Chain A
């Protein structure tokens, strides 16, 4: 895109765009150069937590550091870093909530930090790192499957939760089809459950876009929950269509069990 086409109206100075891009690249290099130090600091905190799982200060510092790196990584366009940090954040939150910040936690946390370090070393071609991240995710999930539920109604969200609560699943809720599509780009799931009417992008359009994309998860099984049958374009490739009626909770549970072989 030419600098002119990027510039808006008013008092912009388009000639600065190239200079800005160069500066941005230099700042990104500095940022990447500092990652190993950050990793070292994370590892120290993890070691402290391993020795003393009740060390709230160490936990908070580690969490803040990871959260901050997640934000900065995104700002510098390193979405792989955002994905790793997001998964590490989840690991931290879950370990704290279940009160298991001991050695098993530490091993997994160290493995995530190691991936962060590899991003700094490699900087391009993140496929190997992505698959290692996926392996770590599986390890953390143990036998659970990860499900992305996209629905904009709170009532429906509660119903999904009740219907699926007893199954070995990790449930993730979102209410925007567009945001869900973005998340599927970076985060692997085993199943998607979508409502028809969603904020920003409807469930059918969201799935059609996913199926037509080059996203690794474009073939993920998907369930559509809607108040009417039919009228669903083939491109959306739904594995199942469940009606929003009084049998929804039971139907959903049995379809999810069947698809995920639970």
Chain B
């Protein structure tokens, strides 16, 4: 089992970016890369080589599910664990996100104190 150290978070809201970055860095001790759009994530993902990717579902331009599909086409990112972040956590939607290849879904608003632990638990559930 490897170590979870690099997390990429794709999110368009500056407020949420700031809180999540701090929470993941200070509480989780991870190295965090924030991308403001799916396009930016696609440009940065290979170089950053994240151990795990968090994707906001509703983003202008390329949304989370579309970004995931595009990421999966990059050989280096084909198997990187992904979790979606969304306020919509209806069961059908969660099932749909998992069918797209996400390990799990983190509900928004997330608890800043607990986000790092949630991310770790999801990552561990993936058996990495």
Contact = CB atoms under 8 A, between A and B. Distances in A.
A and B associate in one complex = yes
Contacts, number: 87
A152 B27 CA distance: 36
Contact of B3 (A7, A8, A10): A10
A7 B13 contact: no
B16 interface: yes
A8 B109 contact: no
B96 interface: no
Give the size range of A's interface with the partner: 20 to 34
A71 B26 contact: no
A175 interface: yes
Nearest to B58: A67
A68 B13 contact: yes
Given A75-B110, A75-B112, A152-B91, A10 B23 contact: no
A82 B120 contact: no
A9 interface: yes
A17 interface: yes
Contacts of A31: 15
Most-contacted residue by chain A among B3, B26, B113 (CB, 10 A): B26
B109 A27 contact: no
Contact of A12 (B28, B91, B108): B28
A11 to B, nearest CB: 4
Contact of B23 (A13, A20, A72, A82): A20
A20 B90 contact: no
B26 A23 contact: yes
Interface in A1-59: 6-13, 16-17, 19-21, 23-24, 27, 31
Contacts of A23: 22, 26
B91 A11 contact: no
A19 B25 CA distance: 12
A76 B4 CA distance: 26
A71 B116 CA distance: 19
Nearest to A1: B113
Contacts of B79: none
Contacts of B23: 20, 24
A17 B3 contact: no
Nearest to B11: A71
Interface string B1-24: 001110000000101101100110
Nearest to B109: A74
Contacts of B113: 6, 17, 20-21
A20 B28 CA distance: 11
25 contacts: A8-B120, A9-B120, A10-B120, A11-B4, A11-B30, A12-B29, A16-B29, A17-B27, A17-B113, A20-B22, A20-B27, A20-B113, A23-B26, A24-B19, A71-B16, A71-B108, A74-B108, A74-B109, A75-B19, A75-B109, A76-B15, A175-B90, A175-B91, A176-B91, A179-B90
Given A17-B27, A23-B22, A75-B110, 11 more contacts: A6-B113, A10-B4, A11-B28, A12-B28, A13-B26, A20-B113, A21-B113, A27-B22, A71-B15, A75-B19, A176-B90
Interface of A: 6-13, 16-17, 19-21, 23-24, 27, 31, 68, 71-76, 82, 152, 174-176, 179, 199
Considering the complex of A and B, which 9 residue pairs feature the smallest CB-CB distances, nearest first?
Answer: A74-B109, A72-B15, A20-B26, A16-B26, A11-B29, A8-B117, A199-B91, A75-B109, A12-B29
